Amino acid sequence: MKFVTSRVKINVPKIKQLDRASITALEKTLSALHTEVVKAQVMPFNTGNMQNASTFEDYSNSKSGKVSLNTATPYARRMYFHPEYNFQTKENANARGNWYEPWISGKEKNFCTKAFSQFYKKEAGL
């Protein structure tokens, strides 16, 4: 009978670097998504308050792997879930309800996955 032995050496500094890279990549992905939503001109826009001043990136739980793009106006929820409204398109040509839908299940659904992958590779030095 033959016995096999092996040794495992854990590279703790590299693991910490990869952990930091994943957090940074997650935060950069959220920022890129926010930029894409604004560039796509899909949010309803009257005075610009909802899109510009009241939509913000929340990184408070990024170390737990959670980030969020929040819109803090009392009317955002109503506008988002009622695409039947007649949104003005003077400022944002593609304004509509369900404005995140292209990134959730539409043609841009792989945007965050691709962006995270690119940011992670760069941050991790891969």
Rounded average pLDDT over 2-19: 92
Q: Is the pLDDT of residue 2 over 90?
A: no
Gap between the Cα atoms of 48 and 23, Å rounded:
30
Q: How distant is the alpha carbon of residue 26 from its chain centre?
A: 7
Question: Any idea where the domains of the chain sit in the sequence?
Answer: 24-124
| pLDDT of residue 10 exceeding 90 | yes
Nearest-angstrom CA–CA distance, 81 and 71: 13
pLDDT-based confidence at residue 1 (cuts at 50, 70, 90): confident
Residue predicted with more confidence, 126 or 44: 44
Q: What is the number of helices (H) and of strands (E) in the chain?
A: 4, 2
